[in-house]
Each structure stands twice: as structure tokens, then as C-alpha cells.
Amino acid sequence: MDPTSTPAWAELTALHGSFTPDLRGWFDGDPGRVERLTHALGDLHVDLSKNLVTDEVLASLVHLAQDTGVAERYAAMLAGEHINTTEDRAVLHTALRRPAGQAPSLEVDGQDVDADVAEVLGRIDAFAERVRSGDWVGVTGKRVETVVNIGIGGSDLGPVMVYEALKPYVQEGLSARFVSNIDPTDLAQKVADLDPETTLFIVASKTFTTLETLTNARLARDWLWERLAAAGAIGDDDAARTDAVAHHFVAVSTALEKVADFGIDTANAFGFWDWVGGRYSVDSAIGLSLAITLGPDAFRELLAGFHTVDEHVRTQPLERNVPVLMGLLNVWYVNFLGAQTHAVLPYAQQLHRFPAYLQQLTMESNGKSVRWDGSPVATDTGEVFWGEPGTNGQHAFYQLIHQGTRLIPADFIAVANPAYPLADGGRDVHALFLANFLAQTKALAFGKTAAEVEAEGTTGALVAARTFAGNRPTTSIVAPALTPAVLGQLVALYEHITFVQGVVWGINSFDQWGVELGKQLALQIAPAIEGDDDALAAQDASTRALIEYYRAHR
């Protein structure tokens, strides 16, 4: 359905015609605003009150969710319908975190989804415990100290984000590293100081065809063989090499036959299914590095956090459904108020990879120009998500958010209890940190008028320069602490926000054809760079000139 042809869109268009944002006035004239617009979502306290909406606008946005069938689409997704139409697949990441034994059990396309998920989770738990206890050893009998996850996109961004966020939970003596880029620098630097005898590689790839990942996996295998042989730990024969791989390589994939082709015993492989999209896969076996380093209990707590939000979305009415409301607000900003981007600003250093993670989740999902039926969209779709942790961003790009000409809705995320409660001369540093969070959201919402600037003694041209217009929208998300459950809730919140926006826009948020062309062309261009003149001649003039530059400078 074209959302612009719905009655709700007409309502919103009419409201927009006379819409004047006035957060100061709305707060002054409406003592109930904050309470009405603040919601609990599991452990998350979500304050929507500093957004540019009135009750009327919100009501019409909820009508838009009704008119475009958000609840129906969600039910179809949970039931395993093939809502990923271009790939003819179910979309069932929510099944990865259903508690064991939930009734009725979920059967999709003849597959007992619950049983399959439980079986893999059980294997993950068992393997993680073996590594953590030292029962799983390398080829020379030493226990694993470093887990290196080799993957890219959804097979990297989720694990690295969660690992960084939950580092305080990592078992002493264990650590993880993440190799993703095909730039050989990435692997070279990540393994440079590692001991091959205590290193376990996880090759994580849904398809097990991704050029970057397989190339890095081969480089890692060569590194392992060379370093073990140089140390006299293995011989220079095939049997010794196979044995080394068996002790130091495991895999995560939906394509177990390709895992075997690579030389990894499928007994050491952990599967998942085509109904888990790459960017929705951190809670599948793709999280193996997390189960090992954080422990199976923390991993299960993470999954339970996801499930809390899934249940909220399933059971709450649209007008109290937090991911639905946040998705609708984003639609309001993108399609009616002209926002091109959306900032995510964690006031938690541990969440420093969260914006990067969200970039794949949101932009690979909703960066689309055609609807489910192939017809062109009639509105703007996915906005650019970006962000950096506060307070670093304050000293970099906040100027533009405060006083620039663009509207940038921003989500601020913070926790009450820090992992490292340090004091500076008796002052709680976390309190100072959070004072910044509160100051920023306050300044963005309410600004500073020219009269207020003048009242401080400023005169002339400086008055305008020091004036803040305010009415810069923010959502504040706070939680007691950054626990695995809270992190699961946060990630699931954004998964569902992304879903809601996609449904309203009528697009398929679960395919990613836009990354295919570049992959194909890279395969065609590589021979030209390597010296194939026919391949060079087949390139366009600019590409040819760039390749010639490369050849001349190598």
C-alpha cells in the first residue's frame, strides 16, 4: 500500500500545514506532557516528551500505523509468513529468543523452529563451557585465551558491538578480537601479538561465500600454520595442518557444506537458518564469540532482553507501543518535517559501537526505493543513522545539531549505574557525565532566546550568534545499568523501530540487493588490477585510469 494514499496521511498533511513546534510552550502549558509521553519498555525508561509532536499528531501517526497494517504485518512475521518477498523467506529473528518450551510451539515451512533453535543453543552453551573451562585445547594442549571472530556486516557488527558493551562481563583470561575488513591490515594487526597455540578462530558467515570473510579466514589459516610450524608445534604435512585447523577453527553458518569444503569439521560448526537476516543475527550462533567470552548465562540473558521487547510489541496497543511510537516519530520527521538523518548518541562509552551497528540494521533494512510489489515509493524512506558517544560528540558535531540549518532528531541513551564508578576529588564522575546528557537534551529542546542572551549582558551581533532556537527533538532512553538484558532490549527496540518504518513505507526491510552490484563488479575488476589487460580495457574511462594509477605505483 502507498502510505500517502491513506486517510491518516491526509490527516498528517493537514496537521503539518498548521504545525508550529513549541516545546517551551507545550511544556509550560501542559504539566502532564512528560508523564503522558514517558513509557516503560522492560528495563528501559523512554521519554518521548522532547519530540516535536502534539497529542493530535501522535494520534494521527497511530492512525497511520493502523492504515498501513503494522500490527498485521508483525503478526505475519511472528507466524513465519514469507514477508521477505524478494527472497521468498520467513523473517524469524524473534524465534531466536523465544523462551524454551513456549506454547504453542512454532513450526514454519515444516521446520520445528523452537526445537532447532534450542538444539543449536544447547551446542553453543556446551562448546562455550568447554572453552571457558579449558577443556577445549589447542593443538599443543594449551587452553584458549583469545577468540578471533572473522566475519563482516551482520557477522561482525553485532558481536563486536555487544562485546564492547558487555566487556565487564568477559571471563578473566579470555578476550575476543574481530577481523572484518579485507584490507590485510585488519588481520595483520589483530593477530600480530597473538600466540597461535592459544588462539581460536571463529569463521562467521551466513552464506560462507563472502569474499572478505573467506579471504581473511584463509589468511588466518596460513598464519596459524606458519606460526605453529615456526615454533616447532606442528609438522609441515597435511595431517598436521588438518589437525591444527580442527583445534583452532570453528565456524558459524547456514551453509554447513561450504564449511566442510573450507576444511572445518562440521562437528565444530554451528548452524542457523535463512530466516535470520545477517543484520538480525547477533542473537543466533553468530553470537558464539559472545557466549564464549561473556558466558552462556549472559548470552541467554541478552536473548531474554530481546524477547521482552518482542512481547511488548506483540501485546501493547499501538498508542502505548514504544517501538511503534518511535518508528512513527521517525516517519513524521522524515516525511513531514524533512529530516534526512537521525543521530544516536550513547552516553555510555561501552556503547561506542552501537551507532555503527545501527547503521547496518537501519540503513541496509530501509534504504530502499521500491515497495514490496516493485512499484516506486512515493515518499522518502530510510534516513541516515549516525552517531558517536557523548561527550566526545559534543566537542565535534553537536554545534550543527544545536545551531545548524538541519533538523536532526537524536536519541540519547544513558544508564544510571556505570560499570566503573570512579570519583574525581570526591565527585562522582558518572554524575558529571550524565549532567552533560541532561544539559544537551535540555538545550536542544528549549534553546536560549535572544532576550535571555541579552539579559546576560551580550549585545550586538553576538546576540544572534549566542541564541539557540530550541525545538531540536530528542528521545531520552535510560536504564538502571548496561546489563545483557538491557542491551538485548535496546537492540530489539531498534529492530522493531526499523520494522515499523519499513511497514509504513511499504518496503521490504529484509533484503539487501543494493550491496550486490558492487560485489559483482569487484570480482570483475580484480583481474584488471592484477594485470589482465582485457579486463582493464573493459572498464569505463575513470575506473581504467584509476587502475592504471594503481599499477604504476605498485
Which residues make up the interface to ligand F6P (CB under 6 A)?
152-155, 205-207, 210, 213, 278-279, 364, 512, 515
Q: Indicate the residue among 213 and 391 with the shorter CB distance to ligand F6P.
A: 213
- Residue 326 CB, nearest distance to ligand F6P (Å)? 23
3-state DSSP of 232-253? CCCCCCHHHHHHHHHHHEEEEE
> 259: phi > 0 → left, psi -120 to 50 → alpha, else beta; which?
alpha
- Residue 365 CB, nearest distance to ligand F6P (Å)? 10
Phi first, then psi, for residue 178 (nearest 5°) are -130, 120
- Residue 299 CB, nearest distance to ligand F6P (Å)? 19
Only one residue has cell 570526591, namely: 426
Q: Indicate the residue among 279 and 312 with the shorter CB distance to ligand F6P.
A: 279
- Residue 351 CB, nearest distance to ligand F6P (Å)? 20
Only one residue has cell 527472497, namely: 87
Single-letter amino acid code for the residue at 245: V
Q: Residue 404 has which C-alpha cell?
A: 545548524
d(CA 103, CA 419) in angstroms, rounded, equals 37
d(CA 65, CA 331) in angstroms, rounded, equals 10
Q: Which residue is nearest to ligand F6P (CB)?
A: 278
> 515: phi > 0 → left, psi -120 to 50 → alpha, else beta; which?
alpha
- Residue 211 CB, nearest distance to ligand F6P (Å)? 9
- DSSP state at residue 247: H
519 in active site: yes
Q: Indicate the residue among 22 and 87 with the shorter CB distance to ligand F6P.
A: 87
- Residue 201 CB, nearest distance to ligand F6P (Å)? 15
Single-letter amino acid code for the residue at 157: L
Are β-strands 111-112 and 107-108 bridged in parallel, bridged antiparallel, or unpaired? antiparallel
Query: Which of the following is catalytic: 172, 257, 395, 456?
Result: 395
Burial of 429 (0-12, 13-18, 19+ CB in 10 A): middle
> 263: phi > 0 → left, psi -120 to 50 → alpha, else beta; which?
left
Q: Of 81, 86, 85, 295, which Cα lies nearest the Cα of 94?
A: 81
- Residue 203 CB, nearest distance to ligand F6P (Å)? 9
Query: Which of the following is catalytic: 197, 364, 388, 495?
Result: 364
Q: Indicate the residue among 114 and 186 with the shorter CB distance to ligand F6P.
A: 186
312 in active site: no
Are β-strands 44-47 and 474-481 bridged in parallel, bridged antiparallel, or unpaired? antiparallel
Instruction: Please give the span between the terminal C-alpha atoms of the chain, in angstroms, as a whole number.
Output: 53
Query: Which of the following is catalytic: 56, 72, 442, 519?
Result: 519
Torsion, CA 41, CA 352, CA 149, CA 182, rounded to 10: 130
Q: Indicate the residue among 325 and 363 with the shorter CB distance to ligand F6P.
A: 363
Q: Indicate the residue among 154 and 287 with the shorter CB distance to ligand F6P.
A: 154
Q: Which residues are catalytic?
A: 364, 395, 519
